[in-house]
Amino acid sequence: MIFKMPTRYFLVSGVSEGYTPLNAFDGALLQAGIGNTNIVKMSSIVPPHCKPISPITLPPGALVPAAYASITSDIPGEIISAGIAVALPEDENQNGLIMEYSAKGERRKIEETVRNMAVEGMKLRGWEIKDLKSIAIDHKITKIGAALAAVVLWDSSIWHGNSDLKPQMSNFDVWT
């Protein structure tokens, strides 16, 4: 197995302009604090007993599992947004659920949509929600821009075993 079972997660977001869509996406990753890692895109499940933490600075080059929503555009003046939500069940022995969404439009609408997606996903499973967290960000395009919202999963034994991993400051509110 490449990864240990994650025990912690955190939400981040970022936006950027770039020379190409890939450069804009890279800039959004950097603004979110995860741009110098190897992101491994995963599907939408938070392991049982996984707890939220404040964003941390990850080791450069680390393999980092994350679920994310992203969008790029090259239409000047267009507003793009990305959002992500995490729903945790009342029963901590069950897994949690991550939903991702990105679209043209403002942050509040995208965040409302992604939260509703998480609620519906939990209803489909027949589970009551104990906690629902979300984050979203929007960006008005100048030339070529990107928006990204992500849930990063991490193993707390790595966090506790490395004093170089420190909480990072975030400019973005997480909606609980």
User: Please, what are the domains in the chain?
Assistant: 8-161 (3.50.20.10)
Residue 139 CA, distance from chain mean position: 16
Bridge-based pairing of strands 145-154 and 129-140 is unpaired
pLDDT at 13: 99
Residue 123 confidence (pLDDT) above 50: yes
Plot region of 77 (φ>0 → left; ψ -120 to 50 → alpha; else → beta): left
**Least confident piece of the model among 45-59, 81-95, 147-161:** 147-161
pLDDT at 135: 98
pLDDT at 155: 87
* CA–CA distance, 40 with 72 (Å, rounded to integer): 19
* pTM of structure: 0.88
pLDDT at 176: 47
pLDDT in tens, 62-94: 999 999 999 999 999 999 999 999 999 999 999
| Token representation of residue 28 | 């959004």
Average pLDDT rounded to a whole number, residues 19-37:
98
Which residues are catalytically annotated?
Answer: 38, 43-44, 100
Res. 171 pLDDT band, cuts 50 70 90: very low
CB 170 within 8 A of CB 12: yes
CB 112 within 8 A of CB 66: no
